Structure 1
Amino acid sequence: MLFALIFLILILLAAALGRERRARLNFIDGTFAFACRVRACGPPPTGWRWLRRNWSRRMWARWTGDVLMIRRGPVFDRTRRLAAEVTATGVYVVPRAEARRCGTQAIAVRLRLPDGALIEVTADRSARAELVGPFLAAAISDLPRAPVPRRDV
C-alpha cells in the first residue's frame, strides 16, 4: 500500500514537471522572451497585489505590441498582461547592492502602468533589446559614450 502511494506521488510529480516544461517552452517558443525578475516601486499594481518591493523569483516575459506578458508560476500557468510604457529613466544598471539575486550584469527598466503604479523589470545585459521591447530608444539611455577622435597636430 505504501509503495503504491509513493509510486502515485512520483507519477503526479513527473506529470506536473512535464506540464510546466511544456507550458514554459510554449511561452518562449518563437518569440523574443527573456528571463526576468520584477518588483514594485511603491504600492503594488491593481490585479497583482502580491508584488512587493523585493525582487521576485525568476519569471519569463515577452512583449506583444506594447503589452508586457509575464509568465509566473512553475506549475499553474498564470500570465499577467501589463500595458506599460517605459519611464524617462530608461534602462539603467542595477547597483551591486541590489543585484544580489539579479545576476552580475543586471540591467533594469522602470515601467509605468495605466493605473499609475510603477514596476521595475530586470534582466541580464544580453537581453537589453528584449527588455525594452517596442521602446527601443530606452535601450540606449545608459550606453557608454563613443570615443572622441584624436586631433591631428
Structure 2
Amino acid sequence: MFAVIFLILILLAAAIGRERRARLAFVSFRCRVRACGPPPAGWRWLRRNWSRPMQARWTGDVLTIRRGLVLDRTLRLAAEVTATGVYVVPRSESRRTSGTRAIAVRLRLPDGALLEVTADRSQRAELVGPYLAAAISDLPRAPVPRSDI
C-alpha cells in the first residue's frame, strides 16, 4: 500500500514539474477570449461571455492559445484582425476582462467565426501580433501645431 501511494506522489510531482517547465517555455501574454456569434469549429464550448484567463502568443499569423491549468491544451487559430482594430473595452465590461485598463481586438477565423481577445493596455503589441497597424487604431491624435499669426 505504501508503495502505491509513493508511486502516485512521484507521478504527481513529475506532472507538476512538467507543467511548470511548459508554462515557462510558453512566452506569452495573459488574455481572455469570447465568441462574437457562433463559436469557431475547433472550439465548440466558447461562449459570448469572457473566458477564464488564458495564455496566448502569436507565431506568424497563427494565434496559439494555451488553456487549462494542469492539462496542457493548446489551440491554434489562423486569425486576422478585422477592420475595427484595437479598441478600449467599456468600463461596464472591464471588470470581467483583463482589468480596468483593458483593450480588445476582434479576430476573424477562416471559417467566418469572430472572436474577441482582450488583454491589458501594456500588452498592446503582443495582442495584435503581426498586425501592428491595428495597434495604433485607437491611439489619441497628435497635437496640431499652432500656425503663426
Tell whether the structures are fold-level matches, with TM greater than 0.5: yes
Q: How many correspondences in the alignment?
A: 147
Matches within 5 A, 1:21-100: 21-28=20-27, 33-100=28-95
Q: Structure 2: how far apart are the matches of 1:62 and 1:105?
A: 20
Q: Check if 1:109 corresponds to 2:108.
A: no
Q: Which amino acid aligns with 1:21?
A: R
Name the stretch that deviates more: 135-144 or 8-17. 8-17
Q: Structure 2: how far apart are the matches of 1:50 and 1:149?
A: 52
Q: Check if 1:122 corresponds to 2:118.
A: yes
Q: TM-score, normalised by structure 1?
A: 0.87
Q: Structure 2: how far apart are the matches of 1:75 and 1:95?
A: 32
CA contact (8 A) 1:59 1:70 kept: yes
Q: Structure 2: how far apart are the matches of 1:98 and 1:55?
A: 9
Q: Which amino acid aligns with 1:114?
A: P
Gaps of 5+ in 2: none
Name the stretch that deviates more: 85-94 or 19-28. 19-28
Offset of residue 12 of structure 1: 5.6
Offset of residue 150 of structure 1: 1.7
CA contact (8 A) 1:19 1:75 kept: no
Q: Structure 2: how far apart are the matches of 1:149 and 1:9?
A: 70
Deviation sequence 1:97-134 (CA, Å, 0-9, x none) = 11113211110000000110000000111111111111
Gaps of 5+ in 1: none
Q: TM-score, normalised by structure 2?
A: 0.89
Q: CA RMSD in A?
A: 1.9
Offset of residue 13 of structure 1: 5.2
Percent identity reads 84
